[in-house]
Structure 1
């Protein structure tokens, strides 16, 4: 198991280095344009050049990258060119909002997808067809459109939830749940269909195995065979799909946060990208890449626990 984990960590580190180099090069291609956006389009060439020199944009790209990555390895991601705030502090205040949405959506998606997928696999017929149709419809509707519909119906018309705003959990747990309920639903609907289809397909294949017939011949109830034995053996592909959906939902949270006016990293990322705030955007890229590595490692460990063959491979 230790070798298994070390291999995954080495792959994650290599991915982080590749993403860092690629993102830094791409973000620094328009150094002059970045300086002009920061000082204003009407600024003179002298002011633009002075700003570029202040930010170090006149130095060689390799030198700037070495300086950035050396500081990043110590936990210093620099300061935002736009606000002057520490990038670490800025992300630390906004990331919990985005993570709460994404983790909540993953939990909701996993619970409903497993239930629907197991139901469709165990009860073939009209139930299976209804689940498949709902999965396709849920996956076809864009997340931002679902968010707008939820706002119109449950926030504006029924007034069950607030349309915008965010309450921190330490201030009011009930208020926090109310402010993230609709965004979590908007993020999770698309993922439920994909994971449910994967659970359904894996369970249908597992139900054809000889050990299932043996368990049934021993008189075990249908629900025990399905949920205790078949579901565990079919969980591997569903976990992989759920891990991918976490990454998709984390990216989708950028748009959902705009709809519900939530103070996550989405709004800040969009604003920083528009003005070319390289340190802040690089900070978001690195944090996102680290989250991807952690999620993939967690999925691999769960799959290795569920199926020892994964560790051997």
Structure 2
């Protein structure tokens, strides 16, 4: 098991390095001049040149990369070019907002999709057909449109939840839960449809296996056969899709945070990219990839626990 985890961890470190490196060189090859934007449209050539020297943009790209990488491996992600704040502080302030949304959405997705997928596989008939139709519709509707509808109905018209803003859990736990409910639900609906469909298909395949019929013929309770045997063997496929949905939810949070006026990682990434704030863009990318690696590592651990054959792959 230790060797299994070390292999996955090493692969994650390589992934972070490759994506961070690619992002750095791509941002350096855009052809734009951040120094001109920072100095302002009225700045003269001397002022722009001074700002470019201050930011280190007059140095070769490879030299700047080596300098950034040397600081990054020590935990220093640099300073924002526009706010002069440490990137780690900016990302650290925005990260809890995005994590609140994504973790709430992923927990909601796991709970609801398992119930729906198992019910559709076991009952069949109308329940199965309804799930398939709803899955197609939910997957096709953009999450920002779902978010706007939820905000209009439950926040504006009914006043049950706040339409915009984020409340820290340390300040008001109830307010925090209310502030993330609609955004998390908007994120989760599409993911629920995808994972529920996968759970349904996996459960149907498992329930058709000979060992399930053998367990039933021996008189084991139907609940025990379903939960202890069928669901456990169907779980790996659903867990894999669920871990992939985590990545999709991070991407979806970029739009949802705009809809609900939340200052999370998505909002920071959008503003940094539009301004050309390269250090902040790199910081967001690195932190996001690290989160994806951690989630995939946890998913691999769970898969290894559910199916020991995975540890040998």
Q: TM-score when scaled to structure 2?
A: 0.98
Q: How does 1:195-210 map to 2 (within 5 A)?
A: 195-210=195-210
Aligned equivalent of 1:223: 223
Give the Cα–Cα distance (whole angstroms) in 2 for the partners of residues 214 and 23 of structure 1: 54
The answer for the alignment partner of 1:262 in structure 2 is 262
Instruction: Give me the whole-angstrom Cα distance separating, in 1, the residues matched to 2:264 and 2:239.
Output: 26
Per the alignment, residue 285 of structure 1 pairs with: 285
Q: Alpha-carbon deviation of 1:43?
A: 2.3
> Which residue number in structure 1 is paired with residue 146 of structure 2?
146
Task: Please give the secondary structure, in 2, of the residue aligned with 1:234.
Answer: helix
Instruction: Tell me the CA shift for residue 240 of structure 1.
Output: 0.7
User: Number of matched residues?
Assistant: 313
**1:141-171 CA deviation, whole Å, 9 max, x = no partner?**
1010000000110001111111111111111
1:1-313 equivalences in 2 (<5 Å): 1-30=1-30, 33-313=33-313
Distance 1:96 1:159 in 2: 25
Once the 2 structures are TM-superposed, how far is the Cα of residue 95 of structure 1 from its aligned partner? Answer: 0.1
Mapped partners of 2:34, 2:235: distance in 1? 47
CA distance in 1, matches of 2:67, 2:108: 42
- Work out whether residues 31 and 57 of structure 1, in 8 Å CA contact, stay in contact via their aligned partners in 2: no
Q: Deviations over 1:118-141 (max 9, x none)?
A: 001111111100111111111111
Runs (5+) with no aligned partner, structure 1: none
Q: Structure 2: which 5+ residue stretches go unaligned?
A: none
How far apart, in 1, do the equivalents of 2:247 and 2:155 lie?
27
Residues 165 and 262 in structure 1, CA contact (< 8 A), matched pair in contact too:
yes
Q: Could you tell me how far apart the structure 2 residues matched to 1:269 and 1:10 are?
A: 27
CA RMSD across the alignment: 1.1
Partner Cα distance (1:293, 1:167) in 2: 28
Q: What CA deviation, in whole Å up to 9, does each residue of 1:252-304 have, x standing for no partner?
A: 11111111111212222111111111111100000011011111111111000
Instruction: Work out the CA distance in 2 between the residues paired with 1:208 and 1:32.
Output: 59
Q: Map Cα deviations across residues 212-252 of structure 1 (whole Å, 9 max, x no partner).
A: 01111122232321122101100011111000100110111
Normalised TM-score (structure 1): 0.98
Following the alignment from structure 1 to structure 2, what is the Cα–Cα distance between the partners of residues 125 and 5? 42
